[in-house]
Structures are given as structure tokens and as C-alpha cells.
């Protein structure tokens, strides 16, 4: 496989998207940037383009936080507060929170669900909760240098009024048990964690290995990893998840920072960075690359 050729073939699609600008600092990303990293179970690493360029993880963080929340609380409790179904709405929509009879977020991949999940992380206070979560990120991605981009975090917090409205609604419905602002602070910080395409390829590889690190440590049990990969497949690409499942067919999660993590179960972890987004908030070039990649190697799950 000529990874560079496949990347360059799809680089032109960066011109069809726009960099997210609703959070201060995100709009400073280079819209033409495009990096891909692929890691396999044998320890081989294949990278092309801007695979070492840093960006904030944004919604990709939701799968990591969900893993820790499930470890902390168990499946029954977590999914008593958050559903498992695709919403069909944009990731930041609040409409169905009030109009749905269930009165809980449809799934953990939309903002309302992710805020609820962030509130479930155990700890003595907000700082302790986030530090536990950050350590968990570092362990899974096997990189102790991973940290928060505090400029993005401040922007997330200062412009997060829609997320605050979700948080307080969830509190009023008994979904969030602790302090709303504490849960929101964990959420804003987790979205502001800075990574590279290599870091999220390592996350994909962790999922491909069913929760085992390169040292052989089983950090997350398979029963939780199966839940994560299933929700990635059905809900991971916002309200374009169904189309993506048909065209690509791999468990994947995108973020408005331009990242996509994809998993070829039992084989590969894929990390992509291309910050020019489509109208749904997914990387345009990254999605097109994955369509070609899945077609070329027939790696689809279904």
C-alpha cells in the first residue's frame, strides 16, 4: 500500500470543508492539513502527511470517558442515565432532551450524553476526576506527555452556553447527580486534550486489541470494548453515522478538531487529522480517505 499516494489522492477534498470556528482557537487550524497514521497488531506503523501535528481531540474523547465511566459505575447504571440509540440530530442538539418521552440523552456520542457520562467519573472533586481521566487517556494511548490545550479549554468554557443548558436540564431530570459545573468542567477539559494522528491511531489499536496495551496489559475488559465499538459504529459520526457505516463500515469516531479514529477489529488502529469539516462536523478528506481505504482492502465489519 502506498499510503502517501492514497493521502495525496484525497487531499483535494480538504477544499470542500471548513475549519470549525464556533470555539475560539479552533479556527487557527490549517484547512489544508492532512495526516494519517495506521498501526497494526505486530507493531508496524505507517504514517503520511501531518501525522505529528497537534490538535484537540474534541468528541473523540467521548469514547475514552465512556470506558472509564463504565469501569467506575457498571453498564446498568451508565445506561440507565444515557441511551444507546442514534439520535438522528446534530451532536449539539437539545431538541429531543425535552420532547422525547425517555427524558435522557439518546446516546453517549452526542454532547448531552457525553456531559452526563463525564458527570459519572469518580473522584473527590472536579480536579481529581479530571486527573484520573487524563491519566486514563495517557495509559490507553501510551503517551505520558498528553495534556490539555488550555487556550482551547478556556474557549470551550467561555462559549459553552448550549452545553451548559444541556447540563442543567440533565440535572433537573436527575440524570446528573453531582454539581453541573463540575461535570461541565471535566467535559470541556476532556475535549481540549491535545493529540496527534499517531495518538488516536494508538487509541484505535487499543480497541482493535480489545482493551489490551502493547505491553499486554488488559486495561479495559472485552465486554466494555464491545459496547464502545458498537456505539462508534452506530453513533460515532454524528448524524451521518448511517451513511458512513454503509460507505466505510468500520467503527469510527470523529471530532470537530478534525480527527477521526477508526478500528479494524483484530487488525488495525487508524488515526486521521484533517480539520476541514463537512456540514455534519466530520473531516471531509478523512472520510473520503476511509472510503477508499475500506474499498481497497475490504476491511468492512459487515
* Calpha distance 214→217 (Å, rounded): 7
What pairs with residue 193 in β-bridges?
148
Which one from 36, 96, 118, 187 is the annotated catalytic residue? 187
Q: Is 28 helix (H, G, I), strand (E, B) or coil?
A: helix
What pairs with residue 47 in β-bridges?
37
Identify whether 59 is a catalytic site residue.
yes
Which one from 19, 62, 212, 220 is the annotated catalytic residue? 62
Which one from 36, 59, 148, 180 is the annotated catalytic residue? 59
* Calpha distance 50→17 (Å, rounded): 17
Identify whether 62 is a catalytic site residue.
yes
Identify whether 222 is a catalytic site residue.
no
Which one from 81, 238, 241, 264 is the annotated catalytic residue? 238
Which one from 212, 256, 264, 284 is the annotated catalytic residue? 256
Grid cell at residue 171? 440535572
How many other β-carbons are positioned within 10 Å of the β-carbon of residue 278? 18
Identify whether 273 is a catalytic site residue.
no
Long-range contacts of 242-246 (CB under 8 A, 24+ apart): 242/86, 244/282, 244/287, 245/302
Identify whether 238 is a catalytic site residue.
yes
How many other β-carbons are positioned within 10 Å of the β-carbon of residue 246? 10
Q: Which residues are catalytic?
A: 59, 62, 187, 238, 256
Amino acid at each position: 500500500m502506498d499510503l502517501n499516494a492514497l493521502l495525496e489522492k484525497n487531499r483535494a477534498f480538504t477544499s470542500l470543508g471548513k475549519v470549525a470556528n464556533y470555539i475560539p482557537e479552533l479556527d487557527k487550524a490549517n484547512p489544508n492539513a492532512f495526516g494519517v497514521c495506521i498501526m497494526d497488531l505486530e507493531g508496524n506503523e505507517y504514517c503520511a502527511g501531518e501525522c505529528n501535528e497537534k490538535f484537540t481531540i474534541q468528541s473523540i474523547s467521548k469514547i475514552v470517558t465512556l470506558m472509564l465511566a463504565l469501569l467506575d459505575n457498571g453498564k446498568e447504571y451508565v445506561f440507565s442515565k444515557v441511551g444507546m440509540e442514534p439520535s438522528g440530530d446534530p451532536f449539539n442538539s437539545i431538541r429531543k432532551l425535552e420532547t422525547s418521552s425517555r427524558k435522557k440523552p439518546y446516546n453517549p456520542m452526542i454532547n448531552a450524553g457525553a456531559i452526563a457520562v463525564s458527570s459519572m467519573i469518580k473522584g473527590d472533586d472536579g480536579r481529581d476526576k479530571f486527573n484520573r481521566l487524563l491519566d486514563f487517556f495517557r495509559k490507553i494511548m501510551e503517551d505520558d506527555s498528553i495534556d490539555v490545550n488550555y487556550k482551547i479549554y478556556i474557549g470551550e468554557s467561555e462559549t459553552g452556553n448550549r452545553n451548559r443548558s444541556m447540563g442543567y436540564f440533565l440535572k433537573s431530570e436527575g440524570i446528573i447527580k453531582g454539581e453541573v459545573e463540575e461535570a461541565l468542567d471535566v467535559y470541556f477539559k476532556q475535549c481540549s486534550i491535545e493529540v496527534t494522528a499517531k495518538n488516536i491511531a494508538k487509541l484505535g489499536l487499543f480497541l482493535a486489541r480489545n482493551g489490551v496495551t502493547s505491553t499486554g496489559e488488559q486495561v479495559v475488559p472485552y465486554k466494555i470494548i464491545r459496547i464502545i465499538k458498537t456505539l462508534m459504529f452506530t453513533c460515532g459520526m454524528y448524524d451521518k453515522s448511517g451513511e458512513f457505516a454503509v460507505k466505510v463500515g468500520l467503527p469510527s469516531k470523529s471530532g470537530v478538531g478534525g480527527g477521526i479514529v477508526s478500528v479494524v477489529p483484530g487488525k488495525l488502529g487508524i488515526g486521521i487529522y484533517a480539520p476541514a469539516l463537512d456540514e455534519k462536523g466530520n473531516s471531509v478528506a478523512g472520510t473520503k480517505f476511509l472510503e477508499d481505504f475500506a474499498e481497497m482492502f475490504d476491511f468492512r465489519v459487515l
